[in-house]
Chain A
Amino acid sequence: MYQYDQYDHLIIRERIEQYRDQVQRRLNDELTEAEFLPLRLQNGLYMQRHAYMLRIAVPYGLLSSKQMRMFAHIARKYDRGYGHFTTRQNIQFNWIKLEETPEILSDLASVEMHAIQTSGNCIRNVTSDEFAGVAADEIIDPRPYAEVLRQWSTFHPEFIALPRKFKVAINGAVEDRAAIAVHDIGLTVVHNEAGEIGFKVMVGGGMGRTPILGSVIREFLPREHLLTYIEAIMRVYNLHGRRDNKYKARIKILLKALGVEEFTRQVEVEWEDLKGTEQTLTLEEMERIIAYFQPHAYKSLPAIDPAAAHADNKAFGNWLKRNVKAHKVPGYAAVVLSLKKTGVPPGDATAEQMDFMADLADRYSFSELRVTHEQNIVLADVEQSQLFDLWQEIKAHGLATPNIGLLTDIICCPGGDFCSLANAKSIPIAQAIAERFDRIDFLHDIGDFELNISGCINACGHHHVGNIGVLGVDKDGSEWYQVSIGGAQGNNSAIGKIIGPSFSAQQMPEVIDRLLQVYVRERTPEERFVDTAQRLGIAPFKEYVYATPIETAGRLVGEDEYA
């Protein structure tokens, strides 16, 4: 993985001094809260319901064991012993004191990490495929280009006060695991007919109030032009994106207003005299960065069937089926450690679990880990012959729930328990649903499933692209939940359709149950839930869900259990 050189270290060090001074001036009242707000946001510090929340960047989701141990240290020293992995492959801590944030940043800098631009109206942490570099279906490793973008976008002087936040995702595999279609810029690393490397450039995807999938504005951008072309996109957006209404300020609205053709034309005109300038990537620089992402020193191993020696162990078999993914090197596999154990808020990990995962990385996986946008952790390079030992170890630490890609592998934002933007709680809904369907055979029968829950329209829980999406809404001061079906992420991204009037929290598990009943009744043998939902449309689901009243008195896990 990438390692800081003297320049990275210098910039981060100077950043911490700048930020330390800003905090001091805020505490001395030399800065008003209104003036401090964008400064702290560009450092990932939010004011939440109970305390400050600090979001730390995990560039493109890649972590060393040392960095994971630092998270455990921060959780213990500055927080309440746990952290929350996010849908943007970052981690956030929810119980932070403002006065301590400069120290946290110093601790992070010691392991080459920071919180720069994890929030605010600027270019955010670039996200990517959690299986980058190891996926069997990978064409080109996207991480070097993500790192190039990280450096270029860090403190870009011209794009620090954009109309709104700006998210870039990059994928280099056949299957899109980075959800590029719902990003402001979605890049796919591709080869052209001549075999040269470049990018397919998609712009204007996003969720929030106006969910929309990105449009391709360029089929092939030679890779050396990556930065100048993105600069052109950014300048068009910075100058022409709406600033009068924050809900209409994302680039997707500009692109829609201009039309793809006109938007593309403006970008190309803007790019004309940028093309070929000094910011153009050199082959040396690309090769230098690529050198940091070379394959590990893999052993020469035979590919084996890891289930063969344990054919009678159904639990291990279930785990292999759901949590272990194909690796491009024979004899190796990628393992997903589930942070979706029933009873734990999705994406949360304790300090003990973080230390434990770091140890696992050291012993099983070249000391590296990845954070997934589904809020799980990946050990990307495990020898197949060690899978059974690994599984036995992680079971004892609550990380072996065999539910990756299943109904209970819920994407969920922190919601009203923590977030001051939320209209409704999301974690207790995820909890109640997970409890209701906590039967592994049933989950495996239902099969591939994406249940995504957001506590408000900002859609941090990606509800628009959930096969079932749940959105918390505020109606006359109480919390309700709107349900959509048929959304999907990946190569066949789709925005879900709302099935009808919203539900109370207590009704939600039953609503999900009824939707599943319709699926089980209507599915063909090959169909996943999303296929059935997209084939039939919402009508049969709607009819059945609303046919009879739903009990509202069910038990729901309360806020206090997580506070």
Chain B
Amino acid sequence: MPKQIIKGREIVANDWTLLRAPEAAEGSTAEDAATAAEALTVPAGRVIVPLATWLAQRDALASRAAAGEIGVWIAPHEDPAALREDLPRLALVAVDFPKFTDGRGYSHAWNLRSRLGWTGELRAIGDVLRDQLFSMQRVGFDAYDTRPDRSIEDALKGLTVFSETYQASVDQRVPLFRRHARPTPAAGA
């Protein structure tokens, strides 16, 4: 069975290849990893490449990007603002969650949607699990490459946990107190 992802609220075939640098050796630094990523060979087809790969090979990848074949993924320690000028050339942006307990990706998504104007597909990759999907959707993700050892049908349920939320985010720019006339104590008593 081909690998599937959730897009919007549907389960669809994943027609993108995710390119990651080989697992870094023990004791290597973030710079080592970036250097390794810069030198990666980008395979044929639609590929999501590391930010460092894109920044190093952007000219070589230009025609493929123009053909809608290139997406870029961002690691927690990276700044999506590095893509500011390039976003119009990309078909997809992904944000990596190496561990679901590292919440930087939520702010990256928020920044991509709210400040960098990214309106294309924003995909969560890595340790992406059902119980985090609701929050991911709220901060602007619209695609989820859920962990392959878990049922994707189950994961889908994570998107519909709450029907109301208090605060504004990307999915709902208007907080509850501006959306609804909420009761005062006299009226509510």
- Chain A interface residues (CB < 8 Å from chain B): 3, 5, 7, 10-11, 14-15, 17-18, 22, 30, 35, 38-39, 121, 151-162, 227, 235, 238-239, 243, 273, 277-279, 281-282, 285, 288, 291-292, 294
Contacts and interface: CB of A to CB of B under 8 A. Distances in A.
Contacts of A273: 115
Contacts of B186: 291
Given A18-B161, A235-B107, A278 B166 contact: no
A288 B182 contact: yes
Contacts of A281: 177
A250 to B, nearest CB: 15
B184 A291 contact: yes
A151 B166 contact: yes
A10 B136 CA distance: 21
Given A158-B107, A288-B184, A7 B176 contact: yes
A121 B188 contact: no
B106 A292 contact: no
A238 B166 contact: no
B188 A3 contact: yes
Interface stretch (B16-24, B43-51, B95-103, B116-124): B95-103
Contacts of A38: 100-101
Contact of B165 (A155, A238, A288): A155
A155 B134 CA distance: 10
Contacts of B154: 30
B63 interface: no
The 3 closest A-B pairs by CB, nearest first: A161-B103, A157-B138, A157-B135
Interface in B130-182: 131-132, 134-136, 138-139, 154, 161-169, 173-178, 180, 182
30 contacts: A3-B189, A5-B182, A5-B188, A35-B131, A38-B101, A39-B131, A121-B101, A151-B166, A152-B166, A152-B175, A154-B166, A155-B162, A157-B134, A157-B135, A157-B138, A157-B165, A158-B139, A160-B135, A161-B106, A238-B107, A239-B104, A239-B107, A243-B76, A278-B168, A278-B175, A279-B168, A279-B175, A281-B177, A282-B177, A294-B185
B91 interface: no
B129 A35 contact: yes
Contacts of B139: 157-158
B168 A285 contact: no
Contacts of A10: 163-164
A158 B129 CA distance: 16
B183 interface: yes
Contacts of A291: 184-186
Contacts of B162: 11, 14-15, 18, 155
Contacts of B54: none
Contacts of B129: 35
A320 to B, nearest CB: 34
B106 A278 contact: no
A194 B129 CA distance: 51
Contacts of A277: 168, 173
Given A7-B164, A154-B166, A162 B184 contact: no
Nearest to A238: B107
A277 B167 CA distance: 12
Nearest to B105: A161
Contacts of B183: 5
A11 B164 contact: yes
A153 B129 CA distance: 22
A279 B185 contact: no
Contacts of A158: 103, 106-107, 110, 135, 138-139, 169
A39 B135 CA distance: 13
B167 A152 contact: yes
**Chain B CB within 10 Å, residue with most, of A10, A155, A273:** A155
Given A158-B139, A161-B100, A285-B177, A11 B106 contact: no
A27 B77 CA distance: 35
Contact of B106 (A15, A35, A157): A157
Nearest to A10: B164
A238 B182 contact: no
A292 B107 contact: no
**Chain A CB within 10 Å, residue with most, of B102, B161, B182:** B182
Nearest to A11: B164
Given A10-B163, A11-B162, A11-B164, A159 B178 contact: no
A294 B167 CA distance: 25
A288 B102 CA distance: 36
A531 to B, nearest CB: 44
A315 B177 CA distance: 51
**Chain A CB within 10 Å, residue with most, of B164, B174, B185:** B185
A254 to B, nearest CB: 13
Given A39-B131, A162-B103, A11 B166 contact: yes
Interface string B76-117: 100000000000000000000000111110111010000100
B169 A157 contact: yes
Given A121-B101, A161-B101, A22 B166 contact: no
Contact of A160 (B103, B163, B184): B103
Contacts of A156: 167, 169
B165 A11 contact: yes
A7 B135 contact: no
A484 B182 CA distance: 50
A239 B131 CA distance: 21
Contacts of B185: 3, 291-292, 294
A36 B86 CA distance: 39
Contacts of B180: 7
Nearest to B186: A291
A59 to B, nearest CB: 13
Contacts of A154: 166
Contacts of B188: 3, 5
B42 to A, nearest CB: 28
A30 B132 CA distance: 15
B178 A282 contact: yes
A297 to B, nearest CB: 13
B106 A160 contact: yes
B163 A238 contact: no
A211 to B, nearest CB: 26
Contacts of A288: 177, 182, 184
A156 B139 CA distance: 10
A299 B169 CA distance: 46
Contacts of B110: 158, 235
Given A10-B164, A161-B101, 10 more contacts: A17-B161, A157-B136, A157-B139, A158-B135, A158-B169, A160-B106, A161-B102, A239-B108, A243-B102, A294-B185
B103 A159 contact: yes
A156 B169 CA distance: 9
Given A22-B131, A158-B135, A239-B107, A7 B178 contact: no
A50 B181 CA distance: 47
